[in-house]
Structure 1
Amino acid sequence: VGIDYAGSSQIRESKRRGKIHISKAYIAVFVCLTTKAVHLELVSQLTTEAFLSALQRFTARRGLSSHIFSDNATNFVGANQLLREIYQFIASNQDEIAIGLSKQNISWKFIPPRSPHFGGIWEAA
């Protein structure tokens, strides 16, 4: 799957009639590299935690991906490092559940810096 962010959007929030609150949100774009299917997730911030929540919602709905491709955005790099730490922690424990979870290791690959044309499929979505 290829992952990227679409530009920021303005979101209007209101509780019935009255005061309207406008906030900024981002769209995480997930593109299947086999079928070219596009999945969009709304993300509140450009942080690693917000991206991991979007990734969790994506995998809950579409299933785990064996490979993830993205650019070198700091939230993607941070998510990759955090997931690697979790996998190393799980792999270090020797109970059956940990072994089962560590088998679902996800390979995360980054395109070269300053070369968005390498991610043409998900950049075009």
Structure 2
Amino acid sequence: MVKLEVVNSLSANSALTALNNVFLQCGTPRKIYSDNGTNFVKCNKEIKKFLDQLEESSKLDNRNIEWIFSPPGAPWYNGTVERLISVTKRCLRCLDASFRSFEDARSTFLKIESVINGRPIVQDDDRWISPFEIAYGRQQQPLIDVNADLDTNGNWPKRLKEVRSKFENFWRSQYLASLNQNNQPKITDIKIGDYVLLPSDRFIKRNKWPIAKIIDICNNSNNDDKVIRSVKIRRLSDDAEYIRPVNGMILLDRYKN
């Protein structure tokens, strides 16, 4: 399970308040793993001081928290946490991060928390189980879809357009830019309905190449070798149709149901 809290600053007091909020929801942990941030080091001292005072005043409360810090200069030491931090940042790039208030920021991070905790991690027969279901024993069913925004001023179409634009830019920079010549389709593997990146002679980056849909396979002069040498495509930007050779095209991953 991932719990995200929004803080006003990176001070130790803000971090301590955020930790206490998590403890109130999930219970006090036995161990905490973190990096060597000065706010975390101070939080550790304050928690130890509080637990020592609590132990003196009440012998029934024997809580103890062991705070384990990763070595300095080793961000990979706590790899699982760092991976989830990366996932959180990726989700944040896909959403509208122009926060207008503290409550707006908190709502956005709760959406991200819901998405991460709703990911499938364990398969049970024919269905996948999420961290949320493992923790609470029930499926995650929010009243409002995590990708939907309520906007009483009628501005939701504009907000939706902004979110889509952000997601498209993120998709181009993260996915399309990662494609290379190894993604070129095999000359016998192209199918009608596939989407491809069209090579450009304008010396622009690959993630800026136009995207086109293959709508027909052209007849070649020599069909004995079953080699596809040219196809008819429809460019998505202007719906224009062209016949182009397959040389240099990069095949996008097919969607699988």
What TM-score results when the alignment is normalised by the length of structure 2? 0.32
Cross-structure match for 1:104: 63
Cross-structure match for 1:38: 2
Shift of 1:92: 3.0
How many pairs does the alignment contain? Answer: 84
| Residues 54-69 of structure 1 mapped to structure 2, 5 A cutoff | 54-69=18-33
> What is the rounded CA distance, in whole Å, between the counterparts of 1:56 and 1:84 in structure 2?
14
Match of 2:15 among 51, 54, 67: 51
Any stretches of 5+ residues in structure 2 without a counterpart? 85-257
Q: Could you report, residue by residue, the CA deviation over 1:31-85 in whole angstroms, capped at 9, with x for unpaired residues?
A: xxxxxx2111101100111011100110111111111000000000000011111
| Residues 68-79 of structure 1 mapped to structure 2, 5 A cutoff | 68-79=32-43
Any stretches of 5+ residues in structure 1 without a counterpart? 1-36
Cross-structure match for 2:75: 116
- SS of residue in 1 equivalent to 2:10: coil
> What is the rounded CA distance, in whole Å, between the counterparts of 2:25 and 2:50 in structure 1?
21
Aligned CA-pair RMSD = 1.1
- Letter of the 1:78 counterpart: K
The structure having more radius of gyration, on CA atoms, is: 2
> What is the rounded CA distance, in whole Å, between the counterparts of 2:43 and 2:60 in structure 1?
21
Calculate percent identity across the aligned residue pairs: 32
- If asked which structure has higher relative contact order (CA below 8 Å, sep 6+), I would say 1
Structure (1/2) with the larger strand percentage: 1
Show structure 1 runs of 4+ deviating over 3 A: none
- Letter of the 2:59 counterpart: I
- SS of residue in 2 equivalent to 1:42: coil
> What is the rounded CA distance, in whole Å, between the counterparts of 1:61 and 1:86 in structure 2?
19
- Letter of the 2:41 counterpart: V
> What is the rounded CA distance, in whole Å, between the counterparts of 1:91 and 1:104 in structure 2?
8
- SS of residue in 2 equivalent to 1:40: coil
Shift of 1:105: 1.0
> What is the rounded CA distance, in whole Å, between the counterparts of 1:69 and 1:83 in structure 2?
14
- Letter of the 2:24 counterpart: A
- SS of residue in 1 equivalent to 2:68: strand
> What is the rounded CA distance, in whole Å, between the counterparts of 2:77 and 2:53 in structure 1?
32
What TM-score results when the alignment is normalised by the length of structure 1? 0.63
